[in-house]
Structure 1
């Protein structure tokens, strides 16, 4: 294998037409996975707010209109660029494992098996609300009452419910009525699931958010936002959650009933925080990602490996491109499974994993044939971690089939499973936000009575085995799959991302590569066919592994699909237009803004002017 750097972009696909136009302007733009949320964020910009105000409003509305994909009790990573200082920062609102989440307690229930993917036992500290408040306090300009008003209105007065939300509720209606009655009271208030596009309300959540606004007193804007954070972590929110969890025991994905270990003290002892991004350079671009408490660096690792190939010479819709990118992703994700974890607790060898020398070694493993092996790098002194990852991937955990949400998925899989949302915002001053909220889905765990929202199930990502980077530890962050992106080159900056669990950094990578190497513009890249690997171990219960399998959209065509199979890939076809929910927003040095959103599922939208 010899790298042949060719930076000249290959021709874009012959057709210049896209499903929708790139949104262009200079004032501001918002792209998100639901058009109502995008419009709510744009309204903040129109009222004089900045990108951070708009992002918070967008994120809070996404909790209302996509409740099967995220909620107030979920989690939130974001990457922001602050125009005034030129600083790029990561917001970590990923809650940690409770103090009572000990190996002894969980092993007493499950041995060295799996933490359930739903219910109460998988709950970590809910982080999303505090994260949004930290962003608003430190970088926003508007009052909490203003940015939260659209979410309150849609929860109180109703919104036209997406068919997928209605289908999710209908699919779970019997389970909710029997096992999670507090959820049934919210989502089937008249004993039946809502019809698609009917008005759905959540008056309890509207009242919760309105009480926060009313009770968050202070002499300054900052003081009022801090008061709201305190109401969440130490006030009536924490008290209500704590009271419910103190004696609740509910059926989860295992079919058995379990109780939470989360307490009000866990909420009181945690806050969202700012961190530095993890960044690399790639063909003149600097790409910023979250640290290895997420899967974010896996995209950077894959880019490092792909530097050793002439991607620009490949057809971006061809089999060679799909094969090469897939094999590189397999290698990067294998390292994720062996070495990633919360850097507050474990030493993640990120400098080594992101080095060009190591990437060249990994790239040399890629041949013309699809690999069927799990191949984490064998780092000196850490060989046992690589061996352990291989063993776990081959282990049958005897997990039961999911009865409620465990794994984020797309339209080609079951409605019972949750997913994620994403948003990108840029304002006229050049402030930028890329955020990927998730967790607290309506199907993940029961609604906290009186509050109108559920908790998350992120603890399912921990292992119940000793001395691993992802061993369950009180106070540690689970290695989340949530992974927003921000890239910059010569004054141009792009915020982008997607829902999709383990697929997030795969779909983002493919979109970014086609943009950099093949000249596809924003919406062209959104419309182009996508693929992803299922080869490595899933982050979600029941931790499936499908060696050699890739899922591709049929738009690649029969010849490409046949070529991939000839190379040894196990190819599964998705439904048409069923992979990826990408959105993106770009600011060029002259101040022109461009935004785009996927047409898949017919709900994501970019708006701006």
Structure 2
């Protein structure tokens, strides 16, 4: 392959930070320079991402992280995905005349998870004080940062709605009565004050102070402000009606972020770690299991045969996601079968030279009713057109939709973090007066019908799309990920396959043309299905696009350099560190030395 890349692949031995915004990456690197470890840097980076990419994530959103700790010698998952409120039942939502959970507004809110998750990581694995890691985010919120054009455009597209329906959002995002201009200095003094007050939490030790901040978040002044607002709030959402919240003080007070084991799969010598089935993470492992018996290495990594084969494998794995995934604390998930060699050998036989236009979940013994329900749902008419705030997407779609951020960090000792924070977007809910941030809208991933692993139910985790990755082979350790909702595990998979099979470097893999399928049920309101549809970047060439169409794919050609926001970092066995970030949208950046 060519050595030419859009950016240099960062190499060093001291530390690397790569994230979806250059300011956040610089903040993370500054923490490493001050002697902090990867966990300290991850928290500081993440809090800064909440300030500079508020259309993509916020403090009241959600966050999974996969991390390796030198102290434990183990890979673990941190789950900061909040659960459905105790009063969130199918009956209550149906009584409101709803058939889907709205994509925005108070009924779409689950327990805020991100802040508590970051504090848990800092307490248990970090070394620096709460003030040290929070101060950069406080400074950028108080003193200002150059607002991204996409943030400015998102706010501009919602100015009338904010002024009419969400005045607390208008006050924060339009302080002068209009959307900020691209690259103008933008401040969020309310968020700065909230974080400054949390950073002042009292405690005898570093750990006590962090726990005090968590308490202030769950039951102190933050929770008080949230529930003072929710007491009589009725909020317009994408259902074109106003609804009140079901989130209650006890929901926040009783919930904690937690740790759990990762789910793994062996692929060509790599052990790939993902989250459990409360996220879509296992779909990447399933697709690897389907492709394990295919000679991908003999294909052109940008050719029609490679694209077709990967697309068809992803369709099969995503169909199983829709049928079987959900919160393992509430439902039996047949993951042993879904990742088994026997099962995936049969799934692999379904791939031929033509594009499938059918939804084809596998039929797992004892779970056939879930496969039938999946097909029935996909056959409904969910193509209801564009709405004001809905699924995470990329730059080729409307500016009014939220998305996600990502970070990968490795320190000089070998600690590493991959995290995909999201939710709590400026588009998801009104800003809580005085706090400077909105609640999340993650409940839209539940179904309002009983008997499914993804049915709305109290205290259940939504089956989120957030899905960081960590992989290991022969002393090498790799962390990677991307924003992008349903596309996250598609873009990561394509990047990983090219890395494993074609000898490309981190940055070279990132610079290759990307593609994804829209064939399966969307995770976000309005839960569209686009059978046979796929999107691909034009630099694969007209011949490849024509070949794919001849095979039966419904191909949308994206604008150049608009698909995917990947970042990645790697540690070699000798301690050499490498990092890369996509050039797409000119935001993500890798830093290291």
Q: Tell me the distance in 1 between the aligned counterparts of 2:386 and 2:340.
A: 40
Q: How does 1:400-415 map to 2 (within 5 A)?
A: 401-403=386-388, 405-415=389-399
Residue 498 (structure 2) aligns with: 514
How large is the RMSD of aligned CA atoms in angstroms?
0.8
**2:588 is the alignment partner of 1:604:** yes
Residue 554 (structure 2) aligns with: 570
Q: Map Cα deviations across residues 247-280 of structure 1 (whole Å, 9 max, x no partner).
A: 1001101111111100111100100000000001
2:294 pairs with one of 286, 309, 314: 309
Q: Tell me the distance in 2 between the aligned counterparts of 1:264 and 1:117.
A: 23
Residue 135 (structure 1) aligns with: 121
Q: Map Cα deviations across residues 289-326 of structure 1 (whole Å, 9 max, x no partner).
A: 00000000000000000001000000000000000000
Count of aligned pairs between the two proteins:
593
Q: How does 1:45-56 map to 2 (within 5 A)?
A: 45-56=32-43
Q: Tell me the distance in 2 between the aligned counterparts of 1:220 and 1:183.
A: 37
Can you give the 5+ residue segments of structure 2 that lack an aligned partner in the other structure? none
1:165 pairs with one of 126, 151, 168: 151
Q: How does 1:224-243 map to 2 (within 5 A)?
A: 224-243=209-228
Q: Tell me the distance in 1 between the aligned counterparts of 2:542 and 2:364.
A: 40
Q: How does 1:246-325 map to 2 (within 5 A)?
A: 246-325=231-310
Q: Tell me the distance in 2 between the aligned counterparts of 1:519 and 1:564.
A: 25
Residue 176 (structure 1) aligns with: 162
Residue 208 (structure 1) aligns with: 194
Residue 532 (structure 2) aligns with: 548
**2:569 is the alignment partner of 1:585:** yes
Q: Tell me the distance in 1 between the aligned counterparts of 2:184 and 2:270.
A: 45
Q: CA deviation at 1:179?
A: 0.5
Q: Tell me the distance in 2 between the aligned counterparts of 1:400 and 1:324.
A: 30
Q: How does 1:321-400 map to 2 (within 5 A)?
A: 321-397=306-382, 399=384
**Are the equivalent residues in 2 in contact too, given 1:507–1:531 (CA < 8 A)?**
yes
SS in 2 for 1:499: coil
**2:92 is the alignment partner of 1:117:** no
Q: Tell me the distance in 2 between the aligned counterparts of 1:343 and 1:385.
A: 15
Q: Tell me the distance in 2 between the aligned counterparts of 1:210 and 1:247.
A: 28
Q: Tell me the distance in 1 between the aligned counterparts of 2:184 and 2:476.
A: 42
Q: Tell me the distance in 2 between the aligned counterparts of 1:346 and 1:208.
A: 38
Q: CA deviation at 1:466?
A: 1.1
Q: Tell me the distance in 2 between the aligned counterparts of 1:463 and 1:195.
A: 39
SS in 1 for 2:556: strand
SS in 1 for 2:107: coil
**Are the equivalent residues in 1 in contact too, given 2:382–2:529 (CA < 8 A)?**
no
SS in 2 for 1:275: strand
Q: CA deviation at 1:396?
A: 2.1
Q: Tell me the distance in 2 between the aligned counterparts of 1:209 and 1:225.
A: 12
Q: Tell me the distance in 1 between the aligned counterparts of 2:382 and 2:266.
A: 40
**Are the equivalent residues in 1 in contact too, given 2:383–2:529 (CA < 8 A)?**
no
Q: Tell me the distance in 1 between the aligned counterparts of 2:97 and 2:7.
A: 49
Runs (4+) of structure 1 exceeding 4 A deviation are 397-400
Q: CA deviation at 1:377?
A: 0.4
TM-score when scaled to structure 2? 0.99
**Are the equivalent residues in 1 in contact too, given 2:46–2:421 (CA < 8 A)?**
yes
Residue 8 (structure 1) aligns with: none
SS in 1 for 2:61: coil
SS in 2 for 1:110: coil
Q: CA deviation at 1:104?
A: 1.1
Residue 6 (structure 1) aligns with: none
Q: CA deviation at 1:401?
A: 3.7
Q: Map Cα deviations across residues 501-558 of structure 1 (whole Å, 9 max, x no partner).
A: 0000000000000000011110001110000000000000000000001100001000
